[in-house]
Chain A
Amino acid sequence: MKENFSGRSRFVNYLVPLCLFAASWPVGRTGGALYALGALILAGLSFFLFRHLVHQINQAEQRSCELDEQLIQSQKLAAIGELSSGIAHEINNPLAIIGQEVEWLRHLFETSTLQEEKDRGEFSDSLKQISSQVDRCRDITHKLLNFARKMDPVMQAVELNRLIDDMAALVEKEAKLNNINIIREFQKDLPLVTSDPPFLRQVILNLLNNATYAIEANGTITISTKDNKDGRVEIAVADTGRGIPKEHLKKIFDPFFTTKPPGKGTGLGLSICHGIIQRVGGTISVISQLDRGTTFTIRLPIAP
């Protein structure tokens, strides 16, 4: 019995797992299908989630671009607003005085025959006041015109190599303190260029200053000139600095675009450079590689 039992139990011992196995066979296959289905659902879910995320990121980026643009626009408008409110204020004061004097003249005219010495005196005082206020207005408009003209380039012959060398010498003193070397690769027989010297100085100084900022310490700025033989000369300012990320490259000439902390830069330097180079008939472009450096290239017409 015992034997039997043990024999039977041995049989049961085999049978149970066998039955379980047999039973679980189809279940296992269904389980596999279930797993596959689960994986499929998961994959689908993550796919949709991923797409949704990418979409969200894109939208956020677009929104931030739009915000940037709005910000630039509003800053521009603020600048114009400030300027025009200043002008309005300056001109409104003399206008108010003129208006007042006209009222007084009208009053005199209605109440007096202007035969008396005293009335005639007042009349002529008012005229004098009006005339001097008109002069004041003319002064204001002339100053404004002068301000606008300041932006017009004055074209004269420029020895480019010398002009650049002067500006490099100015930056060199401070650059050396940070172990930044300035290498000059000037073409010797560069033709005289007809351009606006102070404007060019401003641009070169700006680019050299940016280059030292990009390097911070220990690096090289190479500034070169060459005759392109197509009626243009080329100036290149190359630094071994941190480089400019791709997403910033197309924005760097935009007004008010800056990566410097607030208060450290107006974001106007490069946009002013761009404006100047355009006004003297040239072009300015940039190439950059992260952690390798940046090169700005200016092409200037030899004759305007």
Chain B
Amino acid sequence: MPSFKVLVVDDEFDFLETIVKRLQKRKIDATGVGSGLEALKLLEETSFDILILDVKMPKMDGIETLKEIKRRWPAVEVIMLTGHASVESGMQGMQLGAFDYVMKPAKLDDLIEKMVQAYERKLLREKQIR
């Protein structure tokens, strides 16, 4: 398993706590925060490779957060994860540069596989830019 750093952003605390725990159990360096604003604040101090971003959040929603992240840290790969999937927000997310748009509930193995691909993409892109 390649080592990458994941930040999970979700306002549902129970979901957040569980997924971070399960990822850590798989030896993945995972951190969780409860809002888009917290995610932006944390990104200013720490770098992450991958973001798992909930679409429907109060105040700053996933699409807005994605926009801001792609503007300020375009190298971070973002996987949108949502319980309220809509075609409209899916198209928006993909257009704004998300790596994938995944519906809840997603199997952890599938999600990890997507993270691995997203991380591979990040490394490939860094190679391209150099």
Where the two chains meet, the residues of A that have a C-beta atom closer than 8 Å to any C-beta of B are: 143, 146-147, 149-150, 152, 154-156, 166-167, 169-171, 173-174, 197-198, 201-202, 205-206, 208-209, 212, 272
* A197 contacts B87, C-beta separation under 8 Å: no
Cβ 8 A contact of A197, one of B70, B85, B117, B125? B117
For the complex formed, measure the closest distance between the CB of A206 and the CB atoms of chain B, giving whole angstroms.
Answer: 7
For the complex formed, measure the closest distance between the CB of A146 and the CB atoms of chain B, giving whole angstroms.
Answer: 5
Given A156-B121, A202-B94, 8 other A-B residues pairs in contact with their CB atoms under 8 A: A149-B125, A149-B129, A170-B90, A174-B86, A201-B94, A205-B87, A205-B94, A209-B87
Q: Quick one: closest A residue to B71, CB to CB?
A: A143
The residues of A that contact B101 with a CB separation of less than 8 Å are: 170, 201
The residues of B that contact A198 with a CB separation of less than 8 Å are: 94, 97-100, 121
Q: Quick one: closest B residue to A198, CB to CB?
A: B99
Q: A149-B129, A174-B87, A198-B94 are in contact. Are A156 and B120 (CB under 8 A)?
A: yes
Identify 19 residue pairs between A and B in the complex whose beta-carbon atoms are under 8 Å apart, listed by A's number: A146-B74, A149-B128, A149-B129, A154-B125, A154-B128, A156-B121, A166-B100, A170-B85, A170-B90, A170-B103, A197-B100, A197-B121, A198-B94, A198-B97, A198-B100, A202-B91, A202-B94, A205-B90, A209-B91
Is B124 among interface residues, defined by CB-CB distance under 8 A? yes
The residues of A that contact B94 with a CB separation of less than 8 Å are: 198, 201-202, 205
The residues of B that contact A154 with a CB separation of less than 8 Å are: 121, 124-125, 128
The residues of A that contact B87 with a CB separation of less than 8 Å are: 170-171, 174, 205, 208-209, 212
The residues of A that contact B128 with a CB separation of less than 8 Å are: 149, 152, 154
For the complex formed, measure the closest distance between the CB of A202 and the CB atoms of chain B, giving whole angstroms.
Answer: 4
The residues of B that contact A149 with a CB separation of less than 8 Å are: 125, 128-129
6 smallest beta-carbon distances between A and B, as pairs: A202-B94, A146-B74, A154-B124, A154-B125, A154-B121, A198-B99
A106–B31 alpha-carbon span in the complex (Å): 53
* Most chain B beta carbons < 10 A, residue from A154, A201, A272: A154
Is B53 among interface residues, defined by CB-CB distance under 8 A? no
A155–B70 alpha-carbon span in the complex (Å): 20
For the complex formed, measure the closest distance between the CB of B66 and the CB atoms of chain A, giving whole angstroms.
Answer: 12
Where the two chains meet, the residues of B that have a C-beta atom closer than 8 Å to any C-beta of A are: 70-71, 74, 85-87, 90-91, 94-95, 97-103, 117, 120-121, 124-125, 128-129
The residues of A that contact B98 with a CB separation of less than 8 Å are: 198
Q: Quick one: closest B residue to A152, CB to CB?
A: B128
A143–B129 alpha-carbon span in the complex (Å): 13
Prevailing SS type, chain A contact patch: helix
* A202 contacts B95, C-beta separation under 8 Å: yes
The residues of A that contact B85 with a CB separation of less than 8 Å are: 170, 173
A171–B91 alpha-carbon span in the complex (Å): 10
The residues of B that contact A206 with a CB separation of less than 8 Å are: 91
Q: Quick one: closest A residue to B129, CB to CB?
A: A149
The residues of A that contact B90 with a CB separation of less than 8 Å are: 167, 170, 205
For the complex formed, measure the closest distance between the CB of B121 and the CB atoms of chain A, giving whole angstroms.
Answer: 5
For the complex formed, measure the closest distance between the CB of B69 and the CB atoms of chain A, giving whole angstroms.
Answer: 13
For the complex formed, measure the closest distance between the CB of B99 and the CB atoms of chain A, giving whole angstroms.
Answer: 5
* A201 contacts B125, C-beta separation under 8 Å: no
For the complex formed, measure the closest distance between the CB of A167 and the CB atoms of chain B, giving whole angstroms.
Answer: 8
The residues of B that contact A143 with a CB separation of less than 8 Å are: 71
A173–B117 alpha-carbon span in the complex (Å): 26
A143–B73 alpha-carbon span in the complex (Å): 10
For the complex formed, measure the closest distance between the CB of B84 and the CB atoms of chain A, giving whole angstroms.
Answer: 10
Q: Quick one: closest A residue to B82, CB to CB?
A: A170
Q: Quick one: closest A residue to B95, CB to CB?
A: A202
